[in-house]
Amino acid sequence: MDAFIRFTNQTQGRDRLFRATQYTCMLLRYLLEANADKEKVVMKLKKLESSVSTGRKWFRLGNVIHAVQSTEQSIHVTDPVPRLCLTLANLNRVVYYICDTILWVRSVGLASGINKEKWQMWANRHYYYFLLLSLARDLYEIALQMGRVSRNKAKRKTSSSQSPRGYSVVDEDTEWLQSFLLLLFQSLKQHPPLLLDTVKNCCDILIPLNQMGVYRSNPGVIGLGGLLSSVAGIITVAYPQMKLKTR
Amino acid sequence: MDAWVRFSAQSQARERLCRAAQYACSLLGHALQRHGASPELQKQIRQLESHLSLGRKLLRLGNSADALESAKRAVHLSDVVLRFCITVSHLNRALYFACDNVLWAGKSGLAPRVDQEKWAQRSFRYYLFSLIMNLSRDAYEIRLLMEQESSASSRRMKASSGGGVPGGTEPGVSGAPGGGLPQLALKLRLRVLLLARVLRGHPPLLLDVVRNACDLFIPLDKLGLWRCGPGVVGLCGLVSSILSILTLVCPWLRLKP
């Protein structure tokens, strides 16, 4: 219970738990909707989802400053490609939070003259750019990691002086794909924070893609994606060593 | 900027900020009503206040576990009175949060058959008991400190004057019955001065007393025991929220058992 309390004392921890709840409700609603006699349960899930989603806005208020600070930190990253990707990603995150705050102002009724659809579209777009740039950074890090792993493997091969296996030209393509996938799997296995971050961004990107109409998927897929990314987020909050660090 | 990031990373800090905003809205709404502001503005303020209240209920989900854990820790205190007061206070707080969770379930539509009024009254009752326990603990700590202070100062007096003149805080018992009232007034004045000195020397205790005293008006008003009006409730709530934000920003100001 002590660990649970330490986890929930952090705003991000609580927010990730509520996010997981929100997307679980979405997933369950999709799975139970087909069932006619589960109408009441589906209604309750919808109410829980909407109240948690509304309540989570309170966790996001003031995150503009967090994003500005992250932007400042990412300017000092040593590697140029992650520096560019992260700085642009965080700038998009700042704009996203500004749009989100304006939408919040409208939702509590403080300013009724705000065009909700326009600001929602802007928020979705900038969230999408943020995720795209984060994924670009992840792919770059994966490529680096794969290069490192393959160089280590080559070093071990030359030192153990294995005789190369003979293979035909026909098998070369599938052999290449297999070895590429194996290398990818090994690189990610050796670098769990990178795996978690990639999974989180891949799952998250489905949400703005769906809302912008670029790639419409059903609520079940969105719910599952949201749940997976929330669980990945919970792991990074509970175990800070699993957070992808910038050099 | 760094300070805000560190402060807002604690979920309790965000909840306190929302509480301060909620009571500020309540105070503002009351002031606007008194000065005849437009009904639309009043409606906006009331709407914001209700959003804040519901949002805070969501932010507080899971606080029962925290209160139970604090009660578990308080059971191991050495002083019997402190152990009793703090444990019972935390237990009442846990029950208050549990009732609050039920109210959230009712308001968000998960359990529509919940009797909002009954559960609200129940939650305020537990909150009142918890505050009474907190104030009892504060009173006990003040009494201990006052005794310590008065015995220390009488020792100093005895040491400085060679034991001839009686101590400054305890006036001589040689007063005749006829001069009882002025002597009582003097005793009272000295007691008050001692209390002021003790509280000035222990800021965490002073903060805790003021906070609990301000908080006390809220359940007293909501339960109908002492109707002070929305203005007083708003002001007291705002002051106690600001003081608890202060204890979060400066952890040395928090009263440790």
Interface probe for A, chosen from B7, B73, B108 (most Cβ of A below 10 Å), is B108
Q: How far apart are the first and last CA of chain B?
A: 32
pLDDT of residue B175: 47
Residues of A in contact with B12 (CB under 8 A): 9
pLDDT of residue B173: 45
The residue with tokens 């919808």 is: A46
pLDDT tens figures, A108-129: 888 888 889 999 999 999 999 9
- Tell me the C-alpha distance between A19 and A234, whole Å: 10
pLDDT of residue B142: 94
Classify residue B176 as left (phi > 0), alpha (psi -120 to 50) or beta: beta
pLDDT classification of A5: cutoffs 50, 70, 90: confident
pLDDT of residue B2: 84
Does B3 reach chain A within 8 Å, measured CB to CB?
no
Interface probe for A, chosen from B22, B51, B52, B54 (most Cβ of A below 10 Å), is B51
Q: What percent of chain B has pLDDT over 70?
A: 93
Round the average pLDDT of chain B to a whole number and report it: 89
**Has residue A58 got a pLDDT over 50?**
yes
pLDDT of residue A165: 54
Could you give the 3-state DSSP secondary structure of residue B83?
Answer: helix
**Has residue B3 got a pLDDT over 90?**
no
* Range name among A34-38, A180-184, B101-105, B198-202 with the lowest pLDDT average: A34-38
How near does any CA of chain A get to the CA of B61, in Å? 9
Instruction: Using CA coordinates, name the residue in chain A closest to B66.
Output: A5
A62 and B8 Cβ atoms separated by less than 8 Å: yes
**Has residue A87 got a pLDDT over 60?**
yes
pLDDT tens figures, B152-200: 888 988 888 765 544 444 444 444 455 678 899 999 998 899 999 999 9
Does B50 reach chain A within 8 Å, measured CB to CB?
no
pLDDT of residue B20: 96
User: Stretch B105-116: mean pLDDT, rounded?
Assistant: 88
pLDDT of residue A27: 94
Instruction: Using CA coordinates, name the residue in chain A closest to B112.
Output: A44
- Tell me the C-alpha distance between A87 and A69, whole Å: 11
pLDDT of residue A9: 87
- Higher-confidence residue of A88 and A150: namely A88
- Tell me the C-alpha distance between A152 and A149, whole Å: 5
> Vertex B203, ends B226 and B64: CA angle to 5°?
60
The CA distances from residue A93 to A78, A97, A114, A123, B74, in Å, are 21, 6, 21, 9, 43
B204 and B253 Cβ atoms separated by less than 8 Å: yes
CB atoms within 10 A of CB B87: 19
Amino acid in position A131:
L
Residues of A in contact with B68 (CB under 8 A): 1
Could you give the 3-state DSSP secondary structure of residue B62?
Answer: coil
pLDDT of residue A176: 85
- A4–B18: do the CB atoms touch at under 8 Å? no
- B59–A52: do the CB atoms touch at under 8 Å? no
The residue with tokens 């205190």 is: B77
- Tell me the C-alpha distance between B7 and B11, whole Å: 9
- A65–B59: do the CB atoms touch at under 8 Å? no
User: Stretch A8-22: mean pLDDT, rounded?
Assistant: 92
Selecting from B58, B65, B69 the residue whose C-beta is nearest the C-beta of A52 gives B58
pLDDT of residue B101: 93
Round the average pLDDT of chain A to a whole number and report it: 89
pLDDT of residue B160: 83
Q: What percent of chain A has pLDDT over 70?
A: 94
pLDDT of residue B177: 52
DSSP letter at A10 equals: B
User: Stretch B31-36: mean pLDDT, rounded?
Assistant: 89
The residue with tokens 């002086």 is: A161
DSSP H or E run through A175: helix A172-190
Amino acid in position B218:
I
pLDDT classification of A38: cutoffs 50, 70, 90: confident
Residues of B in contact with A57 (CB under 8 A): 55
- pTM of the complete model beyond 0.95: no
pLDDT tens figures, A170-202: 456 678 888 888 888 888 888 999 999 999 999
> What letters, b where the CB count within 10 A reaches 16 and e where it falls short, cover A197-212?
bbbbbbbbbbbbbbbe
Give the burial class of A5: count Cβ atoms within 10 A of its Cβ; 0-12 exposed, 13-18 middle, 19 or more buried: middle
DSSP letter at B6 equals: H
- B94-113 residues touching A, CB cutoff 8 A: 108-110
**What ipTM does this complex have?**
0.84
B253 and B247 Cβ atoms separated by less than 8 Å: yes
pLDDT tens figures, B50-68: 999 999 999 898 899 999 9
**Has residue B216 got a pLDDT over 70?**
yes
